[in-house]
Amino acid sequence: MEKEHFLNKVFASSGITSEELQQIIPKYKQVSFQKNEYLLTQGQVERSYWFIETGFIRSYIVDTEGNDITFNLYGSGDVVIDYPSMFFFAPTRENIQALTDLVCWEISFQDFQEMFNSITNFREQQRGLLVGSYFALKEHSISLIADQAKERYLSLLQRKPTIVQNVSLKHIATFLGITDTSLSRIRKELANV
């Protein structure tokens, strides 16, 4: 029942019929990860993807100086996937790590492909997720260049308040392209307003 409840919520606004849900839901399996455990590491090929039910994840890359830089932050209801790795069978350059204990719903690439090709509403929902992911990435990339650090933080706070409340300042700062000292200063300024 728990599986149906969460996945029904995930698919609720996508136009998927109850008959289609009966085909889709059994393809997902519940998986758990412990804090600091990796879902995917650099060099692996993505073979599945996850909807997060509870918990937080970050994806990060290691820069040329050996620093890990948070590339994305995920929370409940988010899809976690390295699209190029999964769809082009390419080794990933990302590391995807649990920041807390997690409960996720996983689907294999094979099951995904099968449903993508046979269930029109599933395909449209997945296309929507892909397009949304692309736009979010593009918006974040532009923001790193065009917006002040305070604006980037306020935008993240508005879009993903649970991330800001539950993820360490260090990870949030590298995601925003600033130092944790700068982020602490911004948060202090905002608290005093």
156-176: pLDDT as tens digits? 999 999 999 999 999 999 999
H or E element at residue 54? strand 48-54
Nearest to 77, CA basis, from 107, 47, 54: 54
> Is the domain defined by 2-146 classed in CATH 2.60.40.420?
no
Structural contact between residues 56 and 164, judged by C-beta atoms closer than 8 angstroms = no
Per-position b or e across 20-29, b if 16+ CB within 10 A of its CB: bbeebbebbe
Domain ranges of the chain: 2-146, 147-193
Residue 10 neighbours by CB under 8 Å, 6+ apart: 51, 77, 105
Structural contact between residues 14 and 128, judged by C-beta atoms closer than 8 angstroms = yes
Residue 193 has pLDDT above 90, yes or no: no
Structural contact between residues 52 and 102, judged by C-beta atoms closer than 8 angstroms = yes
Q: Report pLDDT for 2.
A: 58
If one compares 44 and 87, the residue with the highest pLDDT of the two is: 44
Alpha helices in 45-119 (DSSP H): 83-88, 109-118
10-57: pLDDT as tens digits? 887 778 888 999 999 999 999 999 999 999 999 999 999 999 999 999
Residue type (1 letter), 87:
F
Q: Angle at the Cα of 101 (from 132 to 178), degrees rounded to 5?
A: 55
Alpha helices in the chain (DSSP H): 2-11, 18-24, 83-88, 109-118, 120-146, 149-159, 161-166, 169-176, 180-191
CA contacts within 13 A on the Cβ side of 30: 11
Report the predicted TM-score, pTM, of the whole model to 2 decimal places: 0.90
